[in-house]
Each structure stands twice: as C-alpha cells, then as structure tokens.
Structure 1
Amino acid sequence: MNAPVSQDKFRAYRERKKAAGLREVRLWVPDTRSTAFKAEATRQAALLNHSEDEKEAIAAMERLAHDVLDDWH
C-alpha cells in the first residue's frame, strides 16, 4: 500500500532540506504552559529571591549589558 500524499509531501520536503545541506533536529522541551512547570519555576524563583546568588547574577548581567551597549555606540 502506498504512503498517504501528506507523507510523500513531507518526505520530499525533508529530502530537499537534506540536499541543501541541512539536517533535521527534534527537541523535547518542558511544557511551559503546564501547572507543574509553573509551580516549579515559582518555587525556584522564591529560593533565589533576594539571595546572594541572585544579586551576583544580576550584577554580572548588568556589567555585560553595559559592555555591550558601550561597544554598540
């Protein structure tokens, strides 16, 4: 039995991309819409809130942003 038309269409698409020197990569990432993800993000943010690690990270980001803006002008 032949593959459905949509499968043939995607197979041809993938072959064109391969011929162009590209390769397919599939990634599984956390579902940021889930309640479990939101709860864990909130929990971790609360642990960092006003901690010394947070202060150091913010200071480092501010230094980097300042350096980038200086180079950009």
Structure 2
Amino acid sequence: MVATNDVNNRVKRHRAALRAAGLRPIQIWVPDTRQPGFAEEARRQCAVVAAADAEDQDVHAFMDAALLDLDEDESDA
C-alpha cells in the first residue's frame, strides 16, 4: 500500500509540474493498428489519396510556384 501511495504522489507532482509549465492533459482516441484489416484499409486510403494527388495538377503548380517563391526570398537575403 505504501508503494502505491509513493507512485500516486510522484504522479501528482509530475502532473502539477506539467500544469505549471502551461500544459494540460487531454485524451484522444486513435485507430487500433493491431486490428485485423487495419493495414489493408491504410493501403487502400493511401492509394486513394495518391491517385487524387496525381490527378490534381493545380495543386502541383501551386506548390511549384510556392517553392520558387521561397527560393527567390532566400536569394534576396
């Protein structure tokens, strides 16, 4: 029982220090990568995104123009 109290106190101090540093705890839910079918679904979604990206030439032109703009800004400095 004493060991449990020590751990609880240590956790409380750690959390208090994090809060004092301006952080706050949150809880998030993420996909369970261990589930059957996860890898196949991830591959399917990646393929969909890659196909959409390959078809969107406007986005490629925009990114190329932005990159050129960055290169020009660096050469001016």
Q: Same fold (TM over 0.5)?
A: yes
Deviation of 1:50 after TM superposition, in Å, equals 4.4
- TM-score normalised by structure 1 residue count: 0.62
Aligned counterparts of 1:38 and 1:6: Cα–Cα separation in 2: 42
Greater shift in the superposed pair: 20-29 or 60-69: 20-29
The higher radius of gyration belongs to: 2
Counting only pairs closer than 5 Å after superposition, residues 1-73 of structure 1 correspond to structure 2 as 4=4, 5-29=6-30, 34-35=38-39, 36-46=41-51, 48=52, 50-51=54-55, 54-73=56-75
Q: Provide the aligned C-alpha RMSD in A.
A: 3.1
Q: Share of identical aligned residues, percent?
A: 28
Name the count of aligned residue pairs.
70
Deviation of 1:12 after TM superposition, in Å, equals 2.1
5+ residue gaps in structure 2?
A: none
- Between 1 and 2, higher relative CO (CA 8 Å, sep ≥ 6) is seen in 1
Aligned counterparts of 1:60 and 1:31: Cα–Cα separation in 2: 35
- The letter of the residue matching 1:66 is L
- TM-score normalised by structure 2 residue count: 0.59
